[in-house]
Amino acid sequence: MSSEPAIAIRGVGKHYEIYDKPQHRLWQSVFRGKRQFYREFWALRGVNFDIQRGETFGIVGRNGSGKSTLLQIVAGTLQPTTGEVRVHGRVAALLELGSGFNPEFTGRENVFLNAAMLGLSRGEIEARYDDIVAFSEIGDFMDQPVKTYSSGMYVRLAFSVSINVDPDILIVDEALSVGDEAFQRKCYARIRTIRDSGATILFVSHACAIVLELCDRAVLLDHGEQLLLGAPKPVISYYQKLMFAPPEVAARLREDFRAMDTQTLASQTAVDASGSNSTPEFQAGVAATASSLVPVTPADPTPSPSERFDPNLVPKSTIVYPSRGSRIENPRITRLDGSPVNILRRRREYEYRYDVHFDQTAQRVRFCMLIKSVTGLELGGFATPLGQEVPIIRAGSVLEVAMRFRCTLAPGVYFNNAGILGEDATGVEQYLARMIDAVMFRVEPEARSSLTATMDFLIEARYTAVQEAL
């Protein structure tokens, strides 16, 4: 039984009858089998793939490609016209906004209704109710009808129910784009926890970076057809190529994609990883550069008016590891003069500081930090180099750790970890204290920015004319 895939999709298709006029539906029922008064529309046709247990699987495609239809069929809320879907395990699905909620029921009543539909007994729901409410952050609104909820409140409550029923399979359809960054970070952290526990995750996202970060495999759908199935990187690359192609080129690309197989995608992944796809055209383009276009802005220690401290910018996903003789307190980001700040500017220098209380004597101590994205992607960090450890720190000592860094991140929201490493009596290094998502900060947007992705590599562009037109 354990060798069976979590989800097996075999020849799945979904057909709809499109009537131009209301009376045509009546005529069709009268003249069934003799005349056809509708146009056929296939939202899905011939979809085939397996999703293995413990796999994180992404579905990508343009609007109208059949992604949400496929998720609804897997979740059991929609029946396929052709083919079949076999699902093994408890499914929790977070589909379109408010799916499965009765708008006249209160939040509390909907929690019991939805959790019961997912297979929990009343006793199990009551035991988990407080956790569901705490995660959703709905508070006093739990006893109000959900029709009075905002879109963000809908999603928070629906997601909280879904992840607290211990699903074997979690299905998510773009819902996490709703809500503030702190709640999104908490959701992605919980998704990773569910994934690490061995659950299968199936989700749709238009955010290609999230698919690349989280997924083991991905499938590309277009016009209801399955075009590509394989590793996320080549699938996303071909999806973007199709998405930005003019209509006359897109039809040819679809034919090319259908002809590809898994081996083709695997070899493409290998080429990307080796970096050997530097073409002569690309090299020629590099050769034709010389004059400065974008000067690198030097670090400026002068405080900027846009740099400030926002007391509402507080992470909701903080996890404190059990202490092994030390405690981390008061993590914060400051200007170089020590004043607190969590709204930062690009290309300026700051310090990440935290206090460490040593309840026990520690040996060979190292200090750590790590910056992550909202989805949990590890962007960069620091640990005291080996050979530069603090040899011994006596019990009762309090240290302030300060790590200077230059903000080379795109505008957006980010999270910092903090950690203390030390050796135990046997000489094995371990965390003496650790905080996940200890602080949260925002990098301010700026006008006329040249940055195109997450990291600022301080790139300078130059050009020279290699040939002048007459």
Listed by start position, the domains of the chain span 7-271, 289-470
Within 10 A of 107 (CB to CB), how many other CB atoms are there? 27
CB 373 within 8 A of CB 414: yes
Pairing mode, strands 169-173 and 200-204: parallel
What is the topology classification, in CATH, of domain 7-271? Rossmann fold (3.40.50)
pTM as predicted: 0.75
Return all residues near 56 (Cβ < 8 A) that are at least 6 apart: 195, 200, 201, 203, 214, 215, 216
* Closest among 168, 172, 159 to 58, alpha carbons compared: 172
Give the pLDDT confidence score for residue 277 in this predicted structure.
39
Query: Would you state the pLDDT for residue 296?
Result: 42
CATH number of this structure's domain 289-470, picked from the four choices 3.30.413.10, 2.70.50.60, 3.90.79.10, 2.60.40.3880: 2.70.50.60
Predicted local confidence at residue 191, as pLDDT: 87
Q: Which residues sit opposite 463 in a β-bridge? A: 291
Check residue 358 and give its pLDDT: 96
Are the beta carbons of 50 and 10 closer than 8 angstroms?
no
pLDDT at res. 276: 38
Helix runs in 244-309, H state only: 247-259, 262-274, 280-287
For residue 442, what pLDDT is reported? 96
- pLDDT value for 371: 96
pLDDT score of 262 = 55
Classify residue 93 as exposed, middle or buried by CB count within 10 Å of its CB (0-12, 13-18, 19+).
Answer: buried
pLDDT cut 90: percent of the chain above it: 48
- Regions of the chain with pLDDT less than 50: 1, 269-299
Gyration radius of the chain's alpha carbons? 27
CA neighbor of 131 nearest in space, from 163, 106, 102, 104: 163
